[in-house]
Amino acid sequence: MRGAKNLLAAIALGMAALIALVLTGATGAAVQGGTKAGAGRLDPKPGIEKKIDELLKQMTLDEKLQQLQLDADWEITDDGARAGVGSVFSLTDPVRINHHQHIAVEQSRLHIPILFAFDTIHGYRTVFPTPLGEASSFDPSVPTADDTIGARETATVGIKQIYSPMVDLSHEPRWGRIAEGAGEDPYLGSVFAAARVEAAQGADYSALDKVVTSVKHFAAYGQPEGGREYNTTDMSEQRLRNFYLPPFKAAIEAGAGTVMCSFNAISGVPGCANHETETDILKKEWKFDGFIESDYTAVDELIRHGIAGNGADAAEAALNAGTDSEMVSTNIRDNAQQLLADHRITMGRIDDAVRRILRVKFRAGLFDQPYVDQAKATDPASFVTAADRAAERAAAGKSMVLLKNDGGALPLDPTKSVAVIGPLGNDQHDMLGPWWGVGRDTDAVSLYDGIKAQDTSTTTFTPGCAMIDKDPPDLTPADECGSDAGFAAAVEAAQGAQQVVLAVGESRGQSGEAAARTEIDLPGKQQELIDAIKATGKPFVVVLFNGRPLTLTKVAASSPAILEAWFPGVEAGNAVADVLFGKVNPGGKLPVSFPRVLGQIPIYYNHEPTGRPCDPTFKWNARYRDLNFCDPLYAFGYGLSYTTFAISNLRLSSDEMRHNDTVTASVDVQNTGARSGDEVVQLYIHDPVASISQPVRRLRGFERVTLAPGQTKTVTFTLGADDVGFYDNSGHFVVEPGTIDVYAGDSSTATLTDSFTVTH
Ligand code: BGC
């Protein structure tokens, strides 16, 4: 996992807790995102509430407070289990899990089992592509495969809760955690959030191969100022509700059982002390009946945020806002008795928090089957099976994006010799990306091995320079590819081969938590390595391994072909080789814009219009003085294929959408090339005249289709009130009369267009 994190020291600021509810309550009712059903919300186990009533009647205050405590693996003790601690995270040894569970169930007074949790973000042991990569598939079957396998492996060791999905939308590529989410779009993010929850939980998460999900980080964690980890965010109500909340709402509608509140402040109020997001929106408006756990020491950090003077203030603020469980720090457990005596919190609120936690434990089946099958949990055959690897390889292939392919440089000819060059060319460690669960470097297939297995001629590997991947506590700046001493050998290897595959990008530690970067180009001297190989005149292609969008202007100017492979997971080398040699035709699309230069950030396709839209040929408008472009280098939804497609004949079922009606939009998509391939047909809308400025485009439908050469398919999308409406700045969902423009095509720059009118 990661290096141990220290409990932050409490800094007494001598201020009473002050929760400023700057955002108003709201009543919006429309459903957004991929799931429109609330099927997951049906309680599969009637009678639970009565059992909770009986337990609550018997519980002492101390026993109740223990339930609200969430310990890290290094904190849990036999005494803690005996006292009835509520939850434990990051403990992955099934023997220790059983040990503590036996103590909790057999020796604690009320025999309440512990809920064990883990960050299964993109796989437990069978590590899948990083989530931003998976979002590039535009195919919900990819996260479904990931979370189905991840849940099964996690549950096998006795862990019943995962701190996933991470559904934070982001317009901030400097932020390392953009790698963990689904990118910049609320609709795509919603579809992926729902798919992950449904796959991990199934219809009933007490099943032996299922876990309860915790959707995080609630809320607006994806927009830290300056891209700096944990930093503050200032957010209008409409932004919060139209961009950042929809993936959470979709996850809750899909049945997500728990939620993690975020470190960041939202307009001055930290996520774990935010009554509006936690209680008004999540618990009341969305009727969420599971529990909210704090992020790591986030309750304690309310002191540093400057909204609590001491631990008691922090506990009061968190509990009263709606936080039910405290991770690592212990302010609620330590101070609740005094806070009750001082009437600063109520027993009703404590009971509500305990009830929510017990509810999840009952639903998870922990009272019926608290123990893990140790034989199965310690059997190597339970993990990274051949079938799981095959599913991972397919998912990784679907997640890759072909960014450039001049003159058909790709696919490569497998009968010709290949020089694999670059610091990531024979790498296992970085292929797993940040948040690798309990994945092992030795599980991963390197690119060199993957190419060797498919190249019928000779394959060589020469690094050129090295990736170092310094994890904390080593805080010296990363020195990835810092030396060109190996370039001469790389050039020689290129000269000796018929074709070159250049494997460049980030180390896995350069993305993920606490990995913000001020530059997002290729680290170190990797561009110089590309230039040195280019100078040999040998045909070459670039394969990128990275967690976040990079500025690729120089790479694109110097390289004929670029394949964005992200961090592809355990089958990395095989999956990339499948694409390089054309066994798999790439069909992924970017779920996030790739800027030309850092200064363009934030740049995202679904921005609001301005009175003076960017125009590089004219001075007095929203442009940069030193950049002759307005667009990103690669737009949201963009990606190439080894074949070509034509999308045509956009037609609407009606030119009018009356109240509660739907309008369908259909297009024909044809494979006009010579190879079978996948296209992602995308549907965008724009409301040109509204009470508040609407984004220039909003994705409201997509479908990934596989077509044989010459084959045509009709794709139909259905638009309803929930698609054309939006949240206003009072938090109300409004559907306004007027024109809606529709665009269809193969990216966010699609040009096929038509429109209809919304009438009441
Ligand atoms: C992260 C969470 C994670 C938690 C437990 C925190 O630092 O923000 O995403 O679930 O640690 O590992």
Q: What is 121-144 written as a DSSP string?
A: SS-SSS----HHHHHTT--THHHH
Task: Say whether pLDDT at 111 is over 60.
Answer: yes
Tell me, in angstroms, the distance from the centre of ligand 1 to residue 535's CA: 45
282-322 confidence digits (pLDDT tens): 999 999 999 999 999 999 999 999 999 999 999 999 999 99
CA–CA dist 599, 417 (Å, integer): 41
List of residues 6+ apart from 427 with CB closer than 8 A: 446, 447, 467, 503, 545
CA–CA dist 56, 347 (Å, integer): 11
CA–CA dist 750, 635 (Å, integer): 11
Q: Residue 254: how many CA atoms within 13 Å on its side-chain side?
A: 30
* Type of residue at 563: L
Tell me, in angstroms, the distance from the centre of ligand 1 to residue 212's CA: 16
How would you class 371 by CB atoms within 10 Å of its CB: exposed for 0-12, middle for 13-18, buried for 19 or more? Answer: middle
The ligand 1 atom at the shortest distance from the C-alpha of residue 216 is 9
DSSP state of 662: -
Respond yes or no: is residue 754 known to be catalytic: no
Burial call 375-389: b when 16+ CB within 10 Å, e when fewer? eebeeeebbbbeebb
Task: Say whether pLDDT at 35 is over 60.
Answer: no
Nearest to 510 by CA among 477, 484, 537, 482: 477
Task: Say whether pLDDT at 609 is over 90.
Answer: yes
The ligand 1 atom at the shortest distance from the C-alpha of residue 260 is 10
Question: Which residue minimizes the CA distance to atom 6 of ligand 1?
Answer: 296
Angle of CA points 70, 46, 281, to nearest 5°: 55
CA–CA dist 428, 181 (Å, integer): 23
The active-site residue out of 295, 388, 427, 728 is 295
CA–CA dist 723, 663 (Å, integer): 10
Tell me, in angstroms, the distance from the centre of ligand 1 to residue 681's CA: 35
Tell me, in angstroms, the distance from the centre of ligand 1 to residue 76's CA: 17
Confidence of residue 39 (pLDDT cuts 50, 70, 90): very low
669-683 confidence digits (pLDDT tens): 999 999 999 999 999
Ligand 1 pocket: which of 296, 299, 436 to mutate (most atoms <8 Å of CB)? 296
The ligand 1 atom at the shortest distance from the C-alpha of residue 263 is 8
Ligand 1 pocket: which of 90, 295, 300, 438 to mutate (most atoms <8 Å of CB)? 295
CA–CA dist 330, 757 (Å, integer): 56
Q: Tell me the pLDDT of the chain averaged across its residues.
A: 93
How would you class 442 by CB atoms within 10 Å of its CB: exposed for 0-12, middle for 13-18, buried for 19 or more? Answer: exposed
For ligand 1, which residues put their CB under 6 angstroms from it?
A: 89, 119, 163, 216, 295-296, 513
Q: What is the pLDDT of residue 659?
A: 80
CA–CA dist 149, 143 (Å, integer): 10
Question: Which residue minimizes the CA distance to atom 5 of ligand 1?
Answer: 296
Tell me, in angstroms, the distance from the centre of ligand 1 to residue 522's CA: 27
Question: Which residue minimizes the CA distance to atom 10 of ligand 1?
Answer: 163
Task: Say whether pLDDT at 24 is over 50.
Answer: no
Confidence of residue 760 (pLDDT cuts 50, 70, 90): confident
Nearest to 127 by CA among 341, 392, 519, 311: 392
Question: Which residue minimizes the CA distance to atom 7 of ligand 1?
Answer: 296
The ligand 1 atom at the shortest distance from the C-alpha of residue 180 is 9
Q: Is 388 helix (H, G, I), strand (E, B) or coil?
A: helix
| pTM reported for the whole predicted model | 0.94
Mean pLDDT of 191-196: 98
Tell me, in angstroms, the distance from the centre of ligand 1 to residue 378's CA: 26
Mean pLDDT of 425-434: 97
Confidence of residue 46 (pLDDT cuts 50, 70, 90): confident
